[in-house]
Homo-oligomer: A and B are copies of this chain.
Amino acid sequence: MADYILNAWYVAACSHEVGAEALFARRLLDRPVVLYRTEAGDPVALLDRCPHRFAYLSKGRRIGDQIECIYHGLRFGPDGACTRSPYQKTPPARAIVETFPVVERHRMLWIWMGDPALADPALIPDHSHMDNDAERPLVWHVKFDGNWQLGNDNLMELTHLFWLHTSTIGGWKEDAGQTPGEKYTARVENGKVLSRTLNTDVRRPSTFFNGVANGVPYDSWNDTEWVAPANMKFTMGAVPTGTGHIVETPYMVQSHCITPETATSSHYFSGFSRIFQLEGGPEVDERFVAFFKGIFDREDGPMMADIQEQMGDADLLDLDPVILPRDSGAILVRRVVAQRLAEETAQVTARVA
């Protein structure tokens, strides 16, 4: 069975990471990719490997919309075709670089590394909350030393907030698991996994302003929508305890998208839009990004690395882990992923046979 779902959109980079001029290199699904923008600003993704002697094209130079290899000067256009070989009248016909469909949406660049014929932009997961400038959407990139599925496991249940993140974002519920009315549900719907987490009678201030006045006990909720392979949207809200229903206006919507780098390392693109602290200059946003990056790099990231170290080359489920009730979302996700991987393997086998 393959390690990666190939026929899917993955985030390759935050929009702001790929500037107007520079060539941007990143390993995705264990293949080297070079990303750049044409002079018109359109994103381009090529295999980052010259077909001549395998130099990284990302170390070459931009010449208009083309890349010139730094080793022997072969030039390639955004379509991957060789346009010039210095010591030949006609570039060699075989000198073609693989290209990947890439679409810019929701402040991220989405890449499709499977069969290009199937690359339908309508399949890009909806993170349109990131499109609203008024809610000052932010997105950033971090990495972790673990298999990409560990990212799904980590994000599909949020009880770890009260243990791993005690001193940062999770400290707002001291008696987690002991308060009447706490609820967790998870279900599969149209290939998506939807989960809802309800915390009740929270008596400590939230890390962020959540719409409830300070000092008032509140109930909080987090609706998670997971789309394969590893895209999650968190819709988070709160309401004073005893109000009797859950407010439908979230104070924050978060995006969490994971892209395999290798079998044991992953890119993690994270972001959010908000309805609070909307005033102030860029330093406000910079503080938010530094805050969330810091939490991941000090708390979640090392945990993913530890688990990968404990697992070695094995798959988590093959190691017979204990499953808790709150893992049901993560387990549903692993089932959908396993089915998608099996389907792709079957398709490849059918094609070969």
A interface, CB within 8 angstroms of B: 32, 49, 51-56, 59, 68-73, 85-88, 92, 94-95, 153, 159-160, 162-164, 176-178, 182, 184, 303, 306-307, 310-311, 316, 319, 321-326
Contacts and interface: CB of A to CB of B under 8 A. Distances in A.
A322 B94 contact: yes
Contacts of A49: 310
30 contacts: A49-B310, A51-B321, A51-B322, A52-B321, A52-B323, A52-B324, A53-B307, A53-B316, A54-B306, A54-B310, A54-B321, A55-B310, A68-B163, A69-B163, A72-B159, A72-B163, A72-B324, A73-B159, A73-B162, A73-B176, A86-B162, A86-B176, A86-B177, A87-B177, A87-B182, A87-B184, A87-B326, A92-B323, A92-B324, A94-B322
A71 B307 CA distance: 11
Contact of A177 (B73, B176, B182, B184): B73
A69 B303 CA distance: 12
A-B interface, 4 closest residue pairs, ranked by CB to CB distance from nearest:
A86-B177, A54-B310, A87-B177, A51-B322
A323 B53 CA distance: 9
A264 to B, nearest CB: 14
Given A59-B306, A95-B322, A306-B59, A53 B153 contact: yes
Most B CB within 10 A of own CB, among A87, A162, A178: A87
Contact of A85 (B56, B59, B324): B324
Given A159-B87, A325-B87, A303 B71 contact: yes
Contacts of A88: 177, 324-325
B322 A163 contact: no
Given A51-B321, A52-B323, A72-B159, 20 more contacts: A32-B310, A51-B322, A53-B321, A54-B311, A54-B316, A55-B307, A55-B310, A56-B306, A59-B306, A68-B163, A70-B164, A71-B163, A71-B164, A72-B324, A72-B326, A73-B159, A86-B159, A87-B184, A92-B323, A95-B322
A146 to B, nearest CB: 11
Nearest to A85: B324
A326 B73 CA distance: 12
A179 B347 CA distance: 52
Contacts of A325: 87-88
Given A49-B310, A54-B310, A310-B49, A324 B71 contact: no
